[in-house]
Amino acid sequence: MFSKIFSSKTLSSDTKQALLDTLHSYRSENFPKGILFPDICPEITLEKKNVVIKLTLPFPCMGEIELLSELLTKQLQQTVRFDISFDVHAVRIHEITGIKNIIAIASGKGGVGKSTTAVNVAYALIAEGSSVAILDADIYGPSVPTLLGMKGKKPSSVDGKLLTPIDANGLSAMSLGFLVDENDATVWRGPMASRAFSQLLNETDWQGIDYLIVDMPPGTGDIQLTLSQQVPVAASVVVTTPQDIALADAIKGIAMFEQVKVPVLGIIENMSYHQCENCGHHSHLFGEGGGKRVADKYGTQLLGQLPLDVSIRSDADNGVSPILADSTSNISQQYRKIARNIAAQLYLQLDSRSPNTASILIED
């Protein structure tokens, strides 16, 4: 079957077999049954002495594909590159036009870096190959405009009915902070805040979005429950620190999403450690291993651990994402890995095409 996908005039039989063997045997956390599952047939050609592998995958993962390209190049002693397209499907039926999947980023308490994480995960998903938007659901303290470097921007409208989201370096964004003074919303009552958020979600002209990241308000009270029930969220992610009090609140966040039947894809442990600039030693200032213990106990994933780093804070204050400032930095790579894990878990846990989806066998 696979012999038909090669350009016979250029690739030797040894090269063909080496590529096939590696592609068939490749396994990772995000591809537990292989990158060619179930019947993906790549088109493999030779272009200017470079091997080009063209295939379509179900979720964005350019960082992992780049590593696989390096592996194949080293193995074959010949440049191997991928021509990848991503076919992201909606895992939940909803009526919001222009959006495939809605992912809520939440925290059980404030001060754990939820909004900063949400913004950087959004940019990381773009870097991994998808179309992304962010919606600021923190009605009482909208920080997304500041984090995007878009404070003071006002959205326009083409038809007078739908708002055009702000374009923040390729990220479509909407926040109450773009519409009202940041101090005005803090005195709103719950129902007013909920209505405002519902309008932002439903009256924005979203277009071609694979993932809408919703930056939820911190906590697990009525407003969080109401928003979780109002929005057709596909899945959620909980941000915490390793500190015991934050972990206790993270558990409350998991319980909240279970109550409204929203799957939890996993936990992001922020401020996990501080790395010494001189010797590289990791100091666990707020405890160690808490995020992993909570993930294991509640049957979810530890999606990644982020360091306590002054550059993350300074970039956030200046409205700059490290993914945009230096895409090759260690912190950028960590955010990209977390983004890949989120997209992969959404596919693996909830997509009908997933290898984890039960199949139905009909016998005569």
Radius of gyration of the chain (CA): 22
Does 71 lie in the same domain as 160? no
Beta bridge partners of 266: 237, 301
Residue 3 has pLDDT above 50, yes or no: no
Does 12 lie in the same domain as 136? no
Instruction: Answer whether residue 93 is part of any domain.
Output: no
Helices 62-76 and 330-350: crossing angle in degrees, nearest 10, is: 100
* pTM of the model as a whole: 0.91
How much of the chain exceeds pLDDT 90, in percent?
Answer: 50
Tokens 């592998």: give the residue: 53
Does 205 lie in the same domain as 338? yes
Mean pLDDT on 153-179? 92
Check: CB of residue 94 under 8 Å from CB of residue 296.
no
Range of the domain at 111: 99-350
Does 269 lie in the same domain as 161? yes
Among 6-15, 27-36, 75-84, which stretch is predicted with the lowest mean pLDDT?
6-15
Mean pLDDT on 256-264? 91
Check: CB of residue 336 under 8 Å from CB of residue 342.
no
Rounded to whole angstroms, how far apart are CA atoms 206 and 229? 21
Instruction: Answer whether residue 270 is part of any domain.
Output: yes
Check: CB of residue 118 under 8 Å from CB of residue 213.
yes
Does 53 lie in the same domain as 135? no
Contact partners, residue 109, CB within 8 Å, separation at least 6: 218, 219, 245, 246, 249
Residue 364 has pLDDT above 70, yes or no: no
Closest CA relative to residue 51, chosen from 104, 105, 26, 15: 15
CATH number of the domain to which 61 belongs = 3.30.300
Does 210 lie in the same domain as 173? yes
Which is more confident, 18 or 88? 88
Does 73 lie in the same domain as 151? no
Residue 185 confidence (pLDDT): 54
Question: What domain count does the chain have?
Answer: 2
DSSP 217: P
Provide the pairing of β-strand 50-57 with 132-136.
Answer: unpaired
Instruction: Answer whether residue 91 is part of any domain.
Output: no
Check: CB of residue 106 under 8 Å from CB of residue 237.
yes
Rounded to whole angstroms, how far apart are CA atoms 67 and 71? 6
Which is more confident, 270 or 246? 270
- Reported residue count of the chain is 364
Last residue of a domain, one of 86, 121, 155: 86
Last residue of a domain, one of 58, 86, 114: 86
CA–chain centroid gap for 78, Å, is 32
The chain-wide mean pLDDT, for the chain, equals 86
Residue 8 confidence (pLDDT): 40
CATH number of the domain to which 246 belongs = 3.40.50.300
Burial class for 68, CB neighbours closer than 10 Å (0-12, 13-18, 19+): buried
Q: How confident is the model at residue 286 (pLDDT cuts 50, 70, 90)?
A: low
Q: Where are the alpha helices (DSSP H) in 110-176?
A: 114-127, 144-147
Check: CB of residue 170 under 8 Å from CB of residue 59.
no
Instruction: Answer whether residue 17 is part of any domain.
Output: yes
Residue 361 confidence (pLDDT): 43
Burial class for 26, CB neighbours closer than 10 Å (0-12, 13-18, 19+): middle
Residue 219 has pLDDT above 90, yes or no: no
Which is more confident, 185 or 51? 51
Rounded to whole angstroms, how far apart are CA atoms 63 and 128? 6
Does 179 lie in the same domain as 30? no
Residue 184 confidence (pLDDT): 62
- Tell me the per-residue pLDDT of 33-70, one tens digit each, with 9 for 90 and over: 999 888 888 888 888 888 999 999 999 999 999 999 99
Last residue of a domain, one of 51, 86, 121: 86
Contact partners, residue 351, CB within 8 Å, separation at least 6: 58, 89, 91, 357
Residue 358 has pLDDT above 60, yes or no: no
